[in-house]
Amino acid sequence: MMTKAKWSFLWISIFLVFPVAAQTGTIKIFSEIQGSFQVYLDEEPRGENVFLLDSVPAGTHYLKILSEKAIVYGELINVTAGTVTPVLIKNTKEVQEKIIQSKHDEIEKYKNNCVEVMLSSRHVTSTEGITTSTYFPGYYSISGTSYSSAESVTHQETDWFVARGGKVKITEWDLAQLAGNDEALLRIRQKQNEIDNKNRKITKHMNIAGAILLGSVLAGLTGLADWLLVDFLSDGLSGGLLAGGLAGGAISAALLNSMHLVPYPDHYLSLEEAIDLANQYNKNLKKSLGIPDYYDVGK
């Protein structure tokens, strides 16, 4: 049978234990920011990427959350016993700026290594149907009957190139390598090899035509010398050398004049492809440096 003293001791024990448990609450953290974050409660570290803090004594506490060494949340919060206190870390512009400012060294590395497609555009006007001045190149008369039939045409010329770090101009091959795009590298290599093969053939034909031209000149000079100076060859042979030299020289000269090496294209990639490769490389570079995707050098 429970005596009065025993009942009193039991109730004291219950009030000593259960009120302590009842006077605690929970903090639940919601985050809109990218990447990891560190949680501090009353300046005590509670871990990384912690979304739930249990058994927090009721009352006012200072909750601090760091991301990339930047304080993205620092507020006094009131924890109520037996309830869950929600905390939302918003990805505001101010928060983004704090994160960027905390990564100064990484940002400098990114600025020095990111790639940009630099675009230039100009309008060019050409006038047709008139006679330009012989004495003043690039000028034409606006008086006279020829001007009435003139037609001016304006078109836009667009050019572009790729720069690394905003300072160093790089090739489209370099861009494809940086982006790790094997398909673009293969297309550029194939185009270059195609032009190389064509130019080797053209160079070979030019060498043959040059040799023929040289031989023709020598033959023509020999025939001419025999005809004008010293009669050391028969008339038929000297005439044949002279005629053959003239004919061979004319033909070979015409061939040489018609043969030109194939120029390499100004661009192997389209402008859209270059922009896509640049964006792909820059995105990977940001990831490797731990820089948020939203960061932009130009902003």
Structure tokens at 275: 């922009």
Please give the pLDDT value at position 144. 43
181: pLDDT strictly greater than 80: yes
Radius of gyration for the alpha carbons in the chain, expressed in angstroms and rounded: 42
Contact 281, 178 (CB under 8 A): yes
155: pLDDT strictly greater than 80: no
Please write the tens of the pLDDT for every residue from 238-281. 666 666 667 766 776 777 677 788 898 888 999 899 999 999 99
Please write the tens of the pLDDT for every residue from 84-123. 999 999 888 888 888 888 888 888 998 899 998 888 766 5
Instruction: Name the DSSP class of 265.
Output: P
What is the rounded distance in angstroms from the CA atom of residue 101 to the CA atom of residue 107?
9
What is the rounded distance in angstroms from the CA atom of residue 79 to the CA atom of residue 185?
60
What is the rounded distance in angstroms from the CA atom of residue 79 to the CA atom of residue 85?
6
| pLDDT category of residue 168 using cuts at 50, 70 and 90 | confident
Render the burial of 154-181: b for 16+ CB within 10 Å, e for the rest: eeeeeeebbebeeeeeeebeebbbbbeb
Structure tokens at 219: 């033959």
pTM: 0.60
* Neighbouring residues of 263: CB distance < 8 A, sequence distance ≥ 6: none
Tell me the fold of 4-101.
Answer: Immunoglobulin-like (2.60.40)
| pLDDT category of residue 17 using cuts at 50, 70 and 90 | very low
Q: Cα separations (Å) of 213 from 56, 154, 239, 254?
A: 98, 45, 18, 10
